[in-house]
Amino acid sequence: MIYLSNLRPEFKKGSVKVPSIPKFQYSGDLGRALHDKAVTKREAVRLLEYIWTIRAFEDMIVELRSGAYKALPGYDYRGPTHVSIGMEATSVGACAAINADDYITSTHRGHGDGIAKGCVAIDAMTAGQLKARCPDTTAASHDDLREAAMELHVMRTIAELFGKETGYCRGRGGGMHIADFSVGHLGANAIVGGGVPIATGAGYSARYFRKGRVVCCFAGDGAYANGAPLEALNMACMAQFTDPRMTRSPFGVPVIYCIVNNLYGMTGRLSEVMGVEYLAKRGAGFKDDNMQAEVVNGMDVLAVRDAVGRGAGACRKGNGPILRELVTYRYYGHSLSDPRNEYRTKDEESAWKAVDPAATFAAQLLDAKVLGQAQLDELKGRVQARNDRAAVRAAESADPDPRDVTTFMYNGTVEAEVPVAHRAVKTFSPIEKPKRDKDGRLTYRDAIKEALIEEMCRDNRVVFYGEDVAEYGGAFKLSKGLIEVFGRDRVFNTSISETAICGTAVGAAMSGLRPVVELMYMDFALMASDQIANQAAKWHYMSGASTTVPLVIRASVGGGKGYGGQHSQSLESVFCHIPGLVVAYPSDAYDAKGLMKTAIRSNDPVLFVESQLLYQAKGAVPEAEYTIPFGEAVVKRAGADATFVGWGPAVPEMLAAAEQMKRDHNADIEVIDIRTLVPLDIETIVSSVKKTGKCLVCAQAVNIGSYTADIAHMVQERAFGWLDAPVLRLGAKDGIAPQALGLELAFLPHTADMVALLRRLCGVERPG
Ligand SMILES: Cc1ncc(C[n+]2csc(CCOP(=O)(O)OP(=O)(O)O)c2C)c(N)n1
């Protein structure tokens, strides 16, 4: 037994110290940086080239909207217009400070971040890599290959904004969700703050795999009032990652959180809607060293590069996470439909334009005699011409085929073979599998635990975390003992941060891990709904299938225990409404194990719903290896008189109701457990209905908006001619789960309610 704490009542008078936060400390210019060998001339020219590449790109959007873009006259640009003109030094300085194989996450205003990340990666490529990146080019020299790769990079970025098949995400994401996983760009995010937990999860991967990678997380000032980033920062700073008393491998989560403070949210000024002058102070709330926060001149590319570079260096030594507030400005409005005259003055804009990052850095190149005026003009012209060519190529390239509208919704594969590199599993104490009773049975809870243990032994990428899941073993003791076997790198407690639990899982899954996370009660999934519905479910599609999100969110349903309205909901139907998620809900121990193993091997995100009512229910669970594929219903009881379809904890009662129908009326009810709601095995249901002519669909969820209605509809659509009666549905009452026993018994559907409906369906009377 490990006791982590030995806290004593100590109330000694004193004060809580918060270290001061350095601001605007960088005092160099290009001449000085060259002299100090902090940058080479070649690097300096490239920094300017990247800045101008972003500027040309963003100017193009402005001109496309006004019709002034000469390369594409009359082009109908229909996407969002969150341009980052004025902010280029933040993207370029930060991306240039990290390595080509490091990760970034970005925002709705992220064209610059994506362009900069790609440029840096291209400039780190060998000729062979460049050739592989643009196989159609006839270029041969390294310089020409580089130029071809740069043009292709701009072209694919523009094409994504134009919704083209040639775009980085095949036109499925657009500019607000652009990603290029091949260069570590894990995606821009249109949900303000939504990318910060994802970056943190990528940090978990980087920490776990220890390949020296870091993550640079871009998010705006507005985002840092949102719960997701605040939860994520806390989860990055958890002491268990660095305190040698708790971990065998102290190493801070290697993320540099860049708060891109352009002074405004949409129109809300930082100074109006927040209570601090500098957001770098956020760091003090999460770590005693302020997360080594610094406030940086975000108009100065060298200052940003220096600050982020030092942050990356600290991260690589295990001293992350790091916070950097990059103070900058956007010259245009929130989007081009915002005239920005309600909330700021021309005078303010002029003052910022006077420190324009492109103009000032170009002037520094002149001053330091790195380039002469003619060379600067040539570079600028080359960048503009490249952008124009790329824009024309993008516009002329193919649109996605409308028949592919739902292609990429799911990956649909399972990891049949674990790559050799991930087969070696370190254990720290003997593995104790759950014990079977004398009849070879396991409880539903232990069946899930056994699946988790087996999969963690099979694949070292499987990690497990959630609230209280480590030493304590989770609120329902399902994971008791796992930390002792697998260690804290693979099994750890989290803060009470459902958004960050699910969001980090998304980022971890995108960057090589296969996380399983626990939500103590399914009701709390609503806290995490953005990360489940907008992130986990969507990234495979939005990226044009260029990433997978192999994660499992375990969520247990507490209904039937008298826990009341906020701990009792069966919410699986809510998540069936989110394409991109698999939704599984086993009803017995055998299925629980087989489905959990498939869930962990699945390359799609899986919401795995568990019933607390069933945790103690025992069933035969073979010790031999087996899995249960998704989308295969099981006929639990054969019958010819009516089809009774359901899932989860309703199923045992459905079987009892079917037995009663046999006893009382000699009616043979066919009971089908769908096991996975998405994907749904509608064929098994329909072929049963074609045999019986009658159908009742049942679940513990409230009737309104329940997935039972979708199934009923599908049955009517596909088997109308075979039906002798309307399809019936049975769920909980359309109300809120009550605490009182009598009320909750009346609220949930039970065997007697089922029998009553089956009698109606079968046209039989109550026995006298
Ligand atoms: C969760 C969420 N709330 C609101 C919006 C609408 N919205 C889009 S951008 C934005 C402002 C974001 O400000 P900030 O994070 O500072 O980034 P900036 O736009 O300044 O780059 C808002 C409110 C959104 N996309 N997501």
pLDDT digits (tens, 9 = 90+) for 215-226: 999 999 999 999
Question: Nearest Cα to 732, choosing from 571, 536, 518?
Answer: 571
Q: Determine the average pLDDT of the residues in 642-660.
A: 98
Q: What angle do CA 74, 60, 155 make, to 5 degrees?
A: 95
**Ligand 1 centroid vs 115 CA: distance in angstroms?**
20
pLDDT at position 269, please? 85
CA distance 245 to 1: 14
Q: What are phi and psi of 222, to 5 degrees?
A: -60, -35
pLDDT band at 367, cuts 50/70/90? Answer: very high
CA distance 697 to 686: 12
Atom of ligand 1 nearest to the CA of 266: 11
CA distance 258 to 216: 7
What are the E-state strand segments in 535-657? 552-557, 582-584, 606-611, 618-620, 634-637, 642-646
DSSP, res 620: E
- Pocket probe for ligand 1: among 192, 335, 343, 352, the residue whose CB has the most ligand atoms within 8 Å is 192
**Ligand 1 centroid vs 458 CA: distance in angstroms?**
42
DSSP per residue, 138-169: ---SHHHHHHHHHHHHHHHHHHHHTT-TTSTT
Of all protein residues, the one whose alpha carbon is nearest to atom 12 of ligand 1 is: 265
Q: Determine the average pLDDT of the residues in 670-674.
A: 99
Question: Nearest Cα to 291, choosing from 232, 333, 332, 340?
Answer: 232
For the cut 60, the answer to whether the pLDDT of residue 719 exceeds it is: yes
**Ligand 1 centroid vs 185 CA: distance in angstroms?**
20
Contacts of 477 by beta carbon, 8 Å cutoff, 6+ apart? 445
CA distance 444 to 447: 5
**pLDDT digits 0-9 by tens, 599-636:** 999 999 999 999 999 999 999 999 999 999 999 999 99
**Ligand 1 centroid vs 190 CA: distance in angstroms?**
8
pLDDT band at 102, cuts 50/70/90? Answer: very high
CA distance 235 to 163: 36
For the cut 80, the answer to whether the pLDDT of residue 733 exceeds it is: yes
Would you state the structure tokens that stand for residue 91, as one six-digit string?
């993207």
Q: Determine the average pLDDT of the residues in 592-597.
A: 98
**Ligand 1 centroid vs 154 CA: distance in angstroms?**
25
Which of these is catalytic: 142, 567, 577, 713? 567
DSSP per residue, 353-392: HTT-HHHHHHHHHHHTTSS-HHHHHHHHHHHHHHHHHHHH
pLDDT at position 261, please? 98
pLDDT at position 4, please? 67
Rg over alpha carbons for the chain, rounded to the nearest Å, is: 29
Q: What is the SS3 assignment for 103?
A: strand
Of all protein residues, the one whose alpha carbon is nearest to atom 9 of ligand 1 is: 266
- Give the rounded percent of residues in the chain with a pLDDT score beyond 90: 98
**Ligand 1 centroid vs 140 CA: distance in angstroms?**
44
567 is known as an active-site residue: yes
For ligand 1, residues with CB inside 6 Å are 108-109, 190-192, 220-223, 262, 264-266, 334
Atom of ligand 1 nearest to the CA of 264: 20
Atom of ligand 1 nearest to the CA of 223: 15
Q: Determine the average pLDDT of the residues in 574-581.
A: 98
Q: Determine the average pLDDT of the residues in 90-116.
A: 98
**pLDDT digits 0-9 by tens, 452-510:** 999 999 999 999 999 999 999 999 999 999 999 999 999 999 999 999 999 999 999 99
Atom of ligand 1 nearest to the CA of 84: 21
Q: What are phi and psi of 568, to 5 degrees?
A: -135, 5
Q: Determine the average pLDDT of the residues in 551-570.
A: 96
244-248, 584-588, 726-730, 764-768: which range is least confident on average?
764-768
**Ligand 1 centroid vs 61 CA: distance in angstroms?**
19
Of all protein residues, the one whose alpha carbon is nearest to atom 3 of ligand 1 is: 192
**pLDDT digits 0-9 by tens, 383-427:** 999 999 999 999 999 999 999 999 999 999 999 999 999 999 999
pLDDT band at 131, cuts 50/70/90? Answer: very high
**Ligand 1 centroid vs 263 CA: distance in angstroms?**
12
Q: Where are the alpha helices (DSSP H) in 85-243?
A: 88-97, 111-123, 127-133, 142-161, 195-209, 227-236
| Cis peptide, bond prior to residue 321, ω within 30 of zero | yes
C-alpha atoms less than 13 angstroms from C-alpha of 662 in its C-beta half-sphere: 14
pLDDT at position 2, please? 58
- Pocket probe for ligand 1: among 91, 107, 218, 266, the residue whose CB has the most ligand atoms within 8 Å is 266
For the cut 90, the answer to whether the pLDDT of residue 5 exceeds it is: no
CA distance 398 to 760: 57
Of all protein residues, the one whose alpha carbon is nearest to atom 20 of ligand 1 is: 265
**Ligand 1 centroid vs 268 CA: distance in angstroms?**
10
For the cut 70, the answer to whether the pLDDT of residue 728 exceeds it is: yes
Of all protein residues, the one whose alpha carbon is nearest to atom 23 of ligand 1 is: 266
- Pocket probe for ligand 1: among 108, 264, 282, 327, the residue whose CB has the most ligand atoms within 8 Å is 108
Atom of ligand 1 nearest to the CA of 261: 16
Q: What is the SS3 assignment for 518?
A: strand
pLDDT at position 233, please? 98
- Kindly list the distances between the CA atom of residue 733 and the CA atoms of 244, 480, 579, 706, in Å, as whole numbers in the listed order: 52, 36, 26, 11
- Give the rounded percent of residues in the chain with a pLDDT score beyond 70: 99
CA distance 119 to 571: 44
Of all protein residues, the one whose alpha carbon is nearest to atom 5 of ligand 1 is: 192
**Ligand 1 centroid vs 327 CA: distance in angstroms?**
17
CA distance 119 to 152: 11
Q: Are 606 and 593 in contact (CB under 8 A)?
A: no
Of all protein residues, the one whose alpha carbon is nearest to atom 10 of ligand 1 is: 266
Atom of ligand 1 nearest to the CA of 262: 20
Q: What angle do CA 505, 308, 53 make, to 5 degrees?
A: 95
Question: Nearest Cα to 460, choosing from 409, 426, 503, 497?
Answer: 426
Which run of H or of E encompasses 220? Answer: strand 215-220
pLDDT band at 767, cuts 50/70/90? Answer: confident
pLDDT band at 659, cuts 50/70/90? Answer: very high
Q: Where are the alpha helices (DSSP H) in 537-601?
A: 539-542, 572-576, 589-601
Q: Are 90 and 304 in contact (CB under 8 A)?
A: yes
Atom of ligand 1 nearest to the CA of 220: 15
9-13, 309-313, 549-553: which range is least confident on average?
9-13
Average pLDDT, the chain: 97
Atom of ligand 1 nearest to the CA of 109: 21
Of all protein residues, the one whose alpha carbon is nearest to atom 6 of ligand 1 is: 192
Please return the burial class of 480, using the count of CB atoms within 10 Å of its CB with bins 0-12, 13-18 and 19+: middle
Q: Does the pTM of the predicted model rise above 0.85? A: yes
Atom of ligand 1 nearest to the CA of 265: 13
Which run of H or of E encompasses 728? Answer: strand 728-732
**Ligand 1 centroid vs 531 CA: distance in angstroms?**
16
pLDDT band at 768, cuts 50/70/90? Answer: low
**pLDDT digits 0-9 by tens, 158-211:** 999 999 999 999 999 999 999 999 999 999 999 999 999 999 999 999 999 999
For the cut 60, the answer to whether the pLDDT of residue 1 exceeds it is: no
